[in-house]
Each structure stands twice: as C-alpha cells, then as structure tokens.
Structure 1
Amino acid sequence: MVVRQHKKSRRAANSNEALGNLKPGLAARQVAAKLLSAVVDKGTSLDGILDPKGGNPAFRSLSDADQALVKAMLLATLRHLPIIEAVLTRLVDRPLPAGARALAHVLHIAAAQIVYLEVPDHAAVDIAVEQANIDPRNRRFAALVNAVLRRLIRERSDLLPKVEAETINAPQWFADRLEAAYGESAEQIMRAHTVAPAIDLTVKSDPQGWADRLGGIVLPTGTVRLATIDGPVSELAGFAEGAWWVQDAAASIPARLLGDVAGRRVADLCAAPGGKTAQLIAAGATVTAVDLSRNRLRRLAENLGRLQLEAELVEANVIDWQPDTLLDAVLLDAPCSSTGTVRRHPDIPWTKSLADIEKLAALQEKLLRHTISLVRPGGTIVFSNCSLDPLEGEDMVRRVVESEPELVRKKIDPVDWPGLEEAITVDGDMRTTPAMLANDNPRLAGMDGFFASKFTRTE
C-alpha cells in the first residue's frame, strides 16, 4: 500500500523534523516573534508575510492550527503593543539592552498571550523560557523571562488598568496625527482600534431577512453585521449562492453616494477586490472595473463569478486610462495609507509614516484631477479612500476644488443618512471613524475610517 501525505501535512512534518521536533507550540512562538520583528523593526506588511502563497516560508511551513495561533498572537500584540511595552517596562528592574530586540519580541508575544488571549499562563511562560534558552542571543536572559512573565501573571489585575490609563496605545507619530485631526475623539478612535472588527455583509436584497437568518443586526448603511461566526465565512448561508459579500459598512458608502445608477455607464477605478463594483452592478449600472493589478483583477473576477454579476474588466493604470465615450459616473476609491482600517490591520501604524501619507495624497490628487476628464458634463464623481488623515481627504479635495472650475462639490445631505448624521462634515463630505456606530457590545460597534466626497462636472 502506498500512503500519500497531504502536501500541507508533509510540509509541516518536514518542517518539524528540521526544527528538531521542538516542544509543541514552540515553533509557532518562534515564528510569531520573528514576524513581529519584521513588522515593527523593518516596516513589513503583515498581510504580505502571512500570505498563504507568497508569505514568510517559516509561517507557511506551519500546520493550519499553528498558523491560526501565530495570526492571533500577532494581531493581539500589535493591537496593544504600546501597552504591553509599558507593562513590561514596569516589571523589569533595569531596561533591556538596546540591542536586545529579539528578546523584547519574545516577551511581547508571551505577554500578549497572558493578558489578551485564552492561552494557559503556564504554557505562555514555559514556551517563552524555552524560546530564550535555545537562542544564543537570549540564553542568558532565560531566568529574566521567567521572572518577568510570572510577575505579570501575579500583578496583571492591578497593573493593567493603571498602565492603560496612562499609555497612548499607538506609535507617537500616528497618535499625533489623530489628535491633530480629531481632538478628544482621537482617544476613542485608538480605543476602538483595540477591538477586532465584526463581520459586515453587503446583501443584494432584504437586509433584515438576512440579519434574522444569520443572527446579526442591520446598520444604517443597510449592512448586515455579525459579531462572531462559527467556522469560515464560506460556510454561512447565502455564500454559495452569492446572496452577499463581505464588505465593511464604511466601504459600502461611496457606491451609494452615486445615487440612482440604474441604466447608467459607471467606472469603478482601482476596483479590486470588487465590493463596490458588485454594489454598482446590483444597483443596475453597466460597470467598467479598472485596476492596475492583474492578480487583483483575477480575484475581482472570481468574486463576481460567485455573486453571478458581470462587469467589463480593464487592466490599466488609472492615470492613463480613457473610456471610448465619456461616462455618466465614476467612483474613484483611491490608493491610500489605509489608516482607517487599523482595527483589522493593526500593523499599519507600525509600517506607515507621515511621508507615506504625503506621497499618497499627491497620487490621489493626480487621480482625482484625471477623473474629471472621464465623465460627461453633468456627470457624477465620487472620490473616496480608507484613510483617517485629512491630508488624504479634506485637505486634498479642497485644493483640487479650488483649482478645477469644472469640478463642483455636491454636499451630502444628512437627511439621506439617518443614523450617520455625525459622519457628514461641515463641507458636506462623508467622514467615518472607528469610534462611530456605538453599541453596548464593542464587537458590534465602530466601522472603518473612510472619507468620501461627491462632485459633478459642470456643463
């Protein structure tokens, strides 16, 4: 008899053998500490290193269960890293050596397990000590790791609330940007960033019916929100038949700002992965979806296939693209810093900078100016992105409007958005933040930070 191992299992088995049959759970912690260093010390995107096909080889060699554990540890650590660092600082008699970053990340990952994850305390401590012992750089600190983590277990109930009250839970540059833009609300936004987001679904029809069926609630956007689910999203009712797609409530707003698009020719620029494209098609528009990335367009096509929706897909750089005839409407969801999505991507404050924001704002300005040439006189343009920073939103739009006489801002009427009145700015734009949509259950509260502005091209 020939026994064929599943490819994934064989790879995981070979990896464990190469690692010398490490203590169960140790390989996952080693990978987690290594990837935390890649994010925090080198500015590497978490999505990239966790990609199932092209991500970090050590991560991809782990079993499915260990991969899930690594993701959970990294997300918990990054959501609370300044607090974890402040707690550990109080528990050591003297600062760690300046070059002991590997040791610091071992402690960060272990502390996240003890404070924020349902990992047995003894397992978190024992494996962290073993981690230190087998690393020549950290072996002499094994006793310190043991002492600090055991002290954390004893003192966490008293220590954690004090540290949380005194610590800004974000890198300083990011906290400064939020405070400058949002004042007292910045603290609420940073607090919201510590809570994993709910699962939001945009449905083709009957939101309340689907909310009842799936055990969710309906938001002011018409989104169905689920606090938690058992198992993969793909196993939920309605997935296979394409009745809905996953899309944050805030991300569903820009397409709705175009108004009635039935029978109109609309372009969705920078369209992948296709949530907004799907909205426009479902609303009756004839849609051209444009994106620079062939791989992202392939993913968009797969998503539309499941949803049984059709669009013209164009692989092109938006800045160079022109339609055969002028369009009725254009939705430009521009590339941005994604600082509005920190709830689901907590690596962003550690991998982006003010320089990145300024560079992206300049690109957005070029794209918006180009978009004017794509629509007919009287046509509609909606610009949006998932950044919290005014440099990529209010400031950039104001500059373009003041210098482009053909572009006229159309103020969004709060009356049209019951439940989201606070998101309408004095200039008539839409500005959502993770601190909005309050709910007694934190998992049902909040939404991504989004900016959207609506225009018409003059006759």
Structure 2
Amino acid sequence: MTETPTPRRLPTGLPARRAALDLLAAALSRRAGLEDDQAAAGLAGLEPRDRAFARILALTALRRLGPLDRALEARIPRPPPEVVRHILRLGAVQALVLGAPPHAAVSASVDLAESLPAARRFKGLVNAVLRGLLREPPNLSDPEALAPGWLLARWSAAWGRTTALEIAAVIAGEPDTDLTFRGEPGPLAEALELVPVAADTWRTPRRGEVAGWEGFEAGRWWVQDASAAVPARLLRPRPGLSVLDMCAAPGGKTLQLAAGGAEVTALDRSPARLRKVRENLERTGLAAEIVAADAAAWEDARDFEAVLLDAPCSATGTFRRNPDVLWAVKPGDIAALAATQARLMDAAARRVRTGGRLVYCVCSLEPEEGEGQVAGFLKRHADFALDPIAPGEGGAPAESRLEDGTLRILPTHRPGGTDGFFIARFARRLNRRARRDLAQAAGAAKSEA
C-alpha cells in the first residue's frame, strides 16, 4: 500500500534540513529529546517557517522510522555512516509523506550530503537509493513495523495482537493539540477552532509553536494532553486543599491544582525544569510553592491532604507527540524505572496525611510501571487502600477503567488519539495500631463518664 502525500510548501534552503538532521541524530543517539533545550538551541537561528519545517521533518522521520529503515535496508547491502542514513530517512519522508516533488526531495538530499564532509562521498548512494524508493514506494504506515519489535511484542502480551497493532497504527499520525483552559474558552473557541474533549480540555487542529496563539500571553490556557489532565482532577482540588505535586515539571498538573484553588507545593529535582513551571505560573497568574529537591530525600517534615506523583517513566505512552521515546527506551530500562517508581511511591506515602489521598500515574504503556506497581505498594503500606475511580471520573475514557478501579488509558481510547497513561488513586486510612489507640481512648473516656 502506498500513500497519497499531502502537498506542502517546503523551504528550499539547507539550514532547515541541517537542523532536522541534527534533531534526528540527537533523538536517536539519546543525546536530547525533541523538547529538550538542546533541541531548541539547534533551531534558534532559523526563521519561524524553517523552524517549523525542521521539526515536522524530524518528527515525521521518527514516526515512520521502522518502515523507513526496513525499506532502506532492503536497498543498501552495506550500512553507510549514520549521518547518511539520516539523510536518506529525511529525503524519503519529504517525498513520500510530506508531499515534496520527488526530484526536489532527491536534489535537496544530495545537496545536504554534499554539504557535510562525513557524507560527501556518499551523495551518489543517496541519489540512487532515493530514486529507487520513489520508483517503488514502500508502505510507511505498516503497523507491524511502526513500533520497535520488542515493544510491539510487549503490547501484544498485555492486550492482545489486535489491540497492539491498533496502538502501533497511531504512531504514524500527526496529532492535534490539546489545551487545558481556565474557565470557558468563549471567543477563543472559534479563533482556535476548538472542539471539547473532557471537562476543561479542548482540542485544536493547530500544531507547532504555541506562543503566538490567541490567549497564550493572557494565560487563558496551557498545552496538556487530555490524558495528562485526568490525574489532577481525581484529587478534586478545592480552595485550601494542601497538595504536594511530586516530580511536578513541566507543571501542567500544578497549574490545574492551583486553578482549582488548592495550596500547591510543586516539587522537582531539576531546577532547570522548574523554571518552566515558574514561567507558566507567572503567565497564568496562578500561585504555587516551588521546591527543587529529590522527592525521595526531601527533608521537609510536612504532610499533605493530597499527593500527586507523576513518576519518571519510559514515557512510551507519549509517542504521538514524542515519537523519539520509542527508539530511545531499551528493554533493560523498564525494570530500572519500575524500581525508581516504587521508591518514589514509598516517599509519596510518607507525605499523605491520614484520611488523605495519593494519585500515582505514569505516561507509560508498560504494565510493570503501572498495574504492576499497585500490589507491591499495598503490601508495603497496609494503611493504604485503593480508592476506586468511578467510570468517566476526571474525564477519563469509559473503556480505560479496570476492574479494580484503576485506569489504563490506551492511545486508541479517544477519537484522534490520546496519550497512554496508567492512573491509580489510593486513600490513607488509620493503621491497625492507630485504630486500636483510638478505640482504647474512646473506651477510657466512656468509663470516666
């Protein structure tokens, strides 16, 4: 099966393609994700149109990386240097997905190879391979190849082959943008072409840099995937509620909690990432205490009525916006991350006041990071119990609710896609010793009376 590309007016100069090449190389070498400061620095000198093109070119190559590499390997008997592979990947998606005229895509790729000392002697190979691909276009949307094989096998084991392939098929698509609003959008609904998703989440077909969009500078909204907006709602923020947002950066959930009137402490180990939280609080006119510290070693003695732990994870559920995560994570990472998550859950438990709630979430599709954490946590903390999430509560898709009242949101659970998440809510009850002490105190008071 071949695709009919959507024509786009593409930049003709090399700087945008060089920037796309750098983005792709950084993502696949695990030097930087596409949202990192390093990636932003590589785009800083470009005009807005070239900047947008470089990002979409790199993102499209990452979204089709599996089928791309399968097609390239069939045509190249001996692997060329990695920079040449990147040039071929970018050239192929320009013509086959982004709609560049074939001759222009080939010519631009040859020019890019010519401009790089490490690739110059391979410009003939670039020309021949791309022309061959264009004569016999490969299927760059094959779900069997869109995800790394080991991840597809994991998803198949967890949810069955059919569901795994449905999830993988989402990888190829360019997602719309979800926004969380403070109040009703009003005239912004028309200006941004919004459609309602859930509660205060709205979706716009716009993509790319958001700083110039209507309502941004006024702090009316912030970018936040519909799935990512669910956990904070499950704590039912209200004026005066004391909440600890652990691992808070980049701050979307902090903003939600503060917008609900809660007294929020935003805790994160990265001062650099907390700068983004502070900027968003200032832009939206919201307030929260910001603390830079390791959540597991934070020496503050306070406890809170509610704790939200969005734990560090493999982030495989975010592949719609961050396709690089699928190729950055390795099989051995899952167990190491699960151990970190368990340690942070224990730290979070110590911060929950008796009678309070803990929401644990990860934007991962891997069961060890989600469902697999629940039983171990409850075994280690007898004073906690699952607080089942009601169907549809917090704006979660109805089909995401599991039998035990936790949530497993899959990317296929909303029309147009959504981030994959696991979410569990726990309540801290009186432990056995505290219940006994209270009973004894009540008995003594009754005897004295």
TM-score by length of 1: 0.84
SS in 2 for 1:379: strand
> Is the 1:318–1:367 Cα contact (8 Å) retained in structure 2?
yes
Q: Distance in 1 between matches of 2:281 and 2:201?
A: 19
Q: Distance in 1 between matches of 2:365 and 2:129?
A: 37
Q: Distance in 1 between matches of 2:176 and 2:156?
A: 25
Match of residue 72 from structure 1:
56
Q: What is the CA distance between 1:280 and its match in structure 2? A: 0.9
The one of 206, 215, 220 aligned to 2:193: 215
Letter in 2 for 1:405: A
Letter in 1 for 2:166: Q
Q: Distance in 1 between matches of 2:269 and 2:395?
A: 36
Q: Distance in 2 between matches of 1:433 and 1:296?
A: 27
The one of 85, 92, 96 aligned to 1:115: 96
Residues 321/214 of structure 1: CA separation in 2 closer, same or farther (3 Å cut): same
Name which of structure 1's ranges 134-143 and 319-328 shifts more when overlaid on structure 2: 134-143
> Is the 2:143–2:169 Cα contact (8 Å) retained in structure 1?
no
Name which of structure 1's ranges 209-218 and 67-76 shifts more when overlaid on structure 2: 209-218
Q: What is the CA distance between 1:146 and its match in structure 2? A: 2.2
Q: Distance in 2 between matches of 1:139 and 1:294?
A: 42
Q: Distance in 1 between matches of 2:150 and 2:395?
A: 34
Q: Within the alignment, does 1:39 sit opposite 2:35 as a pair?
A: no
> Is the 2:387–2:405 Cα contact (8 Å) retained in structure 1?
yes
Identity of aligned pairs, percent? 39
Q: Give the paired residue count.
A: 419
> Is the 1:193–1:434 Cα contact (8 Å) retained in structure 2?
no
> Is the 1:327–1:379 Cα contact (8 Å) retained in structure 2?
yes
Residues 378/323 of structure 1: CA separation in 2 closer, same or farther (3 Å cut): farther
Runs of 4+ in 1 over 6 A off after TM superposition: none
SS in 1 for 2:156: helix
Q: Within the alignment, does 1:26 sit opposite 2:14 as a pair?
A: yes
> Is the 1:86–1:167 Cα contact (8 Å) retained in structure 2?
no
Q: Distance in 1 between matches of 2:24 and 2:392?
A: 45
Residues 132/276 of structure 1: CA separation in 2 closer, same or farther (3 Å cut): closer
Letter in 2 for 1:43: R
> Is the 2:244–2:266 Cα contact (8 Å) retained in structure 1?
yes
Q: What is the CA distance between 1:164 and its match in structure 2? A: 4.2
Letter in 2 for 1:239: F
Q: What is the CA distance between 1:356 and its match in structure 2? A: 1.7
Residues 304/141 of structure 1: CA separation in 2 closer, same or farther (3 Å cut): closer
Q: What is the CA distance between 1:104 and its match in structure 2? A: 2.3
Match of residue 3 from structure 1:
none
Q: Within the alignment, does 1:190 sit opposite 2:168 as a pair?
A: yes
Equivalence map 1:138-153=2 (5 Å): 138=119, 141-153=122-134
Match of residue 291 from structure 2:
314
The one of 419, 440, 443 aligned to 1:448: 419
Higher helix proportion: 1
Q: Gaps spanning 5+ residues in structure 1: where? A: 1-22, 439-444
The one of 75, 87, 90 aligned to 2:71: 87
Q: Give the aligned CA root-mean-square deviation in angstroms.
A: 2.6
Equivalence map 1:58-457=2 (5 Å): 60=44, 62-90=46-74, 92=75, 95-133=76-114, 138=119, 141-156=122-137, 159-160=138-139, 164-165=141-142, 167-183=144-160, 184-206=162-184, 210-228=188-206, 232-321=209-298, 323-414=300-391, 416=393, 420-438=397-415, 445-457=416-428
Q: Distance in 1 between matches of 2:119 and 2:304?
A: 62
